[in-house]
Amino acid sequence: MEQATDLSQKVCLVTGSSRGLGRALSLEFARLGARLVINSRQSSADALADTERQIRALGAQVLSIVADVSLRADVERLAGEALARFGGVDVLVNNASALGPTPMPYLTDYPIDDFELVMRTNLIAPFMLSRALLGQMLARNSGSIINLSSDAGVVGYPTWGAYGVSKAALDQLTRTWAAELEDTGVRINSVDPGDMNTAMKRLSEPDADPSQWPDPETRLPVFVYLASDQSIGVSGQRFSAAEFKPERLPG
């Protein structure tokens, strides 16, 4: 298991890393020896700087890039700066997600501009960034792409329309790309992190007691597995972070 959790010298790019799951993932990857590329929008730049400080305190190398992944030019810049700094990216976690307007409206009343923004952030951005980094992964016959899924992409919850549609499409993107990348050494999977005590979850259910939800740090083992060499050959799968049991893995 020591080898399975060794990310030494791997370059991991985590979008939406200023807080919540993205921050928790970035810090865990840093603890395991990875070099980090972290990202947030301008509105979260201060929180991103705090994540960077925490990573540096762990002794890890880190590149912090403010970019809006819903914008094509920003995605291209994010990928370009990451490759220029580290020469390659081994692990991409497409974590950044947009919930949409709150209170969350029914689809009948959903503003079209907001619907488009959710799709650009949750679906088109992972496609663009994965595509931008895929060439260098294919050249090395190695790489892991991890997309963030949701049970809202499986079950039709009222008011979760745009978010759920984007996640359902992202799951299908993951499966299709995995089929196209078969035998290349590059793997792509999706993870449903489940309910977590994050700003997005609290925003989606403002009247709920947040203490009922686990912290993001409890959801990390499946991401570490997929980032590590232990998951070589595993592709096109949808994992539940809440149900993942490392001890059940073969070997």
**Strands of the sheet with 186-192, listed across from one edge:** 62-66, 35-40, 11-14, 91-94, 143-148, 186-192, 238-240
Beta partners for 146? 93, 189
Q: What are phi and psi of 23, to 5 degrees?
A: -65, -45
The catalytic position among 106, 157, 163, 225 is 163
Please list the helix, strand and coil fractions of the chain in percent, rounded to the nearest 5, in that order. 50, 15, 35
Residues 88, 19, 94, 110: is their CA dihedral positive or negative?
Answer: negative
Q: Around Cβ 106, how many Cβ atoms within 10 Å?
A: 9
Q: What are phi and psi of 212, to 5 degrees?
A: -75, -15
85: helix, coil or strand?
A: helix
Give how far Cα 165 sits from Cα of 139, 151, 158, 200, 242, Å.
33, 11, 12, 17, 22
Let me know if 163 is a catalytic residue: yes
CB-CB contact of 33 with 61 (8 Å): no
DSSP state of 209: -
Closest CA to 31 of 57, 1, 64, 63: 57
Query: Which of the residues are catalytic?
Result: 163
